[in-house]
A = this chain, B = another copy of it.
Amino acid sequence: MGVGYSSCSLSLSLSYSHISCFASTTTTTTLLSSHKSTPNSSLNPPTSKFHYQKPTYTTMTAQSSSSPMFLPIQSGRVEEIKTQYHNSTKPVSDLHSLDLELIQRLVYDSLVWSSLHGLVVGDKNVQRSGTVPGVGMVHAPFALLPMSFPESQWRQACELAPIFNELVDRVSLDANFLQESLSRTKKADAFTSRLLDIHSKMLESGKKEEIRLGLHRSDYMLDEQTKLLLQIELNTISSSFPGLSCLVSELHRSILNQYKEHLGLDSRRIPGNTAVSQFAEALTKAWKEYNNPRAVVMVVVQPEERNMYDQHWLCSVLKERHDVTTIRKTLAEIEAQGVLLPDGTLLIGNQVIAVIYFRAGYAPIDYPSESEWRARELMEQSSAVKCPSISYHLTGTKKVQQELAKPNVLERFLENKEDIAKLRKCFAGLWSLDDSNTVKDAIERPEFYVMKPQREGGGNNIYGDDVRKTLLRLQVEGSEEDAAYILMQRIFPTIVPTFLMRDGICHKDHAISELGIYSAYLRNKENVIMNEQCGYLMRTKVSSSNEGGVAAGFAVLDSVYLT
């Protein structure tokens, strides 16, 4: 419906140097480089006073909307990057041709749609928003329009999903490969070390996971110059946003249909997003494999979770479509209430747990005491289907990603040459810090590298001159700390003008996107039961000057418009 818009804010960034006011680099990078929501969910960063005081924005007026909305980039460094990687991909719609009134209608209608259809998160400004459902809700940050993406690379990403599923399963079974790959990391990273300890203990006790469930998300960026689809990371634990990503696709389809005449876009070019229904299907099938009709699915959650509605959507579909009951427990609650029967049955209270679905437990912060580690070990010892098992979790570490990119390593796990070639094609350059030639090059040309710590949960990547400084420091110190990092080729995706919605306010800015492809894998002792691509997550974020278009700025949920 159309509306009166007087109360809807529409802001225009005046200069890139102000963008960093939106959100700290830390919270923002979390969303870019990680699949998880953290207690300080970057989907909902602190409300900047700039939104209300607006000293750094001009509210769009009839005048401003008719003049070019992008001011010259003021930082020389960014100018250089812009010259190198100019915008050659067309945006979904020529934003300069959209008039202010139309944008305001799109803004208002999409905010209404979000509110009515549960595209919401907890508002960090409201105290109980991470613990009590139904209070302190705000629309999830989203892009006003879908993001263009070439159809061939889209298909390529979808085709990779079942191959990565198979790879994860095979790697997870090679305990020696995991332990060896991570042996130096173990010394430098306490968190990985604890995971490896549990892994070793399971090996020693002869524990085998016969029913194996993976709900993964492989994240990609499209390199502007080479047009290559390059993998950022493969998430094997807590892949977030299967619920909300589906809603954003629906929102964009609704908007495109409603404003067909004005936008001239075809809603059918937004791929259907079935992440939530297929994840629910996979969980249901795993629950059936466990074969106890009284048993439940347990979602392992953080004590505070402002991204709870994304999780609730999945549980809601599980209940309403499959009549499978879920319970939500923190690691501390599991330690307090969990009992392991001699046959391996995990009881929480008096409920048998068929499937353990982790939406917590991927980061050191989730284990504030030994209790949480005991809970993790208790679950791993049980006969419940773990999503993921400790082996699947370790397979998703960056160090393993880097090891798999070495020559002849994929061949240890896969037979099909075509599949291997497909995987290798999407691998970005990945190097250990043992590789002195690469380290030397990275010190000389740090702008072409990203340093990624082993730490899960993202938000700790190192860019630009900090790469050089950190590498030099590690060389001087000569400690084991270098094993906590890998070096990765820096990807420069296309930068496009975008409308980003957050906290009821529309920001127009230059942005980059990252495509996540969900996939589900389930097998038992005999057969593969499910091995599918399951919808997608498009995330779009402001590319700000200080990180040269890759790391800073705030991120929003988006959808794909195939071109």
Interface residues of A (CB under 8 A from B): 1-4, 6-9, 108, 111-118, 120, 123, 126, 128, 131-139, 254, 258, 296, 301, 309, 312-313, 315-316, 318-320, 325-330, 333, 351, 503-504
Contact = CB atoms under 8 A, between A and B. Distances in A.
B115 A326 contact: no
18 contacts: A2-B296, A111-B134, A112-B309, A115-B120, A115-B137, A115-B309, A115-B312, A116-B309, A116-B312, A116-B313, A117-B118, A123-B136, A126-B126, A128-B504, A133-B504, A135-B138, A136-B138, A137-B138
A431 to B, nearest CB: 43
Contacts of A320: 254
Contacts of A309: 112, 115-116
A327 B3 contact: yes
A6 B136 CA distance: 18
A326 B258 CA distance: 12
Contacts of A139: 133-135
B134 A329 contact: no
Nearest to A128: B504
Contact of A133 (B112, B118, B258, B318): B112
Nearest to A319: B1
Nearest to A2: B327
Contacts of A133: 108, 111-112, 114-115, 139, 504
9 closest A-B pairs by CB: A134-B139, A7-B131, A111-B134, A116-B118, A135-B504, A132-B504, A1-B326, A137-B137, A111-B133
Contacts of A116: 118, 309, 312-313, 316
Main secondary structure of the interface of A (DSSP, over half): mixed
Given A1-B315, A3-B328, A116-B118, 16 more contacts: A1-B316, A2-B296, A2-B327, A4-B328, A6-B333, A112-B312, A115-B133, A115-B134, A117-B118, A120-B137, A123-B136, A126-B126, A133-B139, A134-B504, A135-B139, A137-B137
Contacts of A318: 1
Given A1-B316, A138-B137, A132 B9 contact: yes
A123 B120 CA distance: 15
Contacts of A120: 115, 137
A33 B254 CA distance: 38
Contact of A132 (B111, B117, B136): B111
A320 B253 CA distance: 12
A113 B136 CA distance: 15
B4 A330 contact: yes
A316 B117 CA distance: 11
A123 B137 CA distance: 9
B7 A128 contact: yes
B2 A326 contact: yes
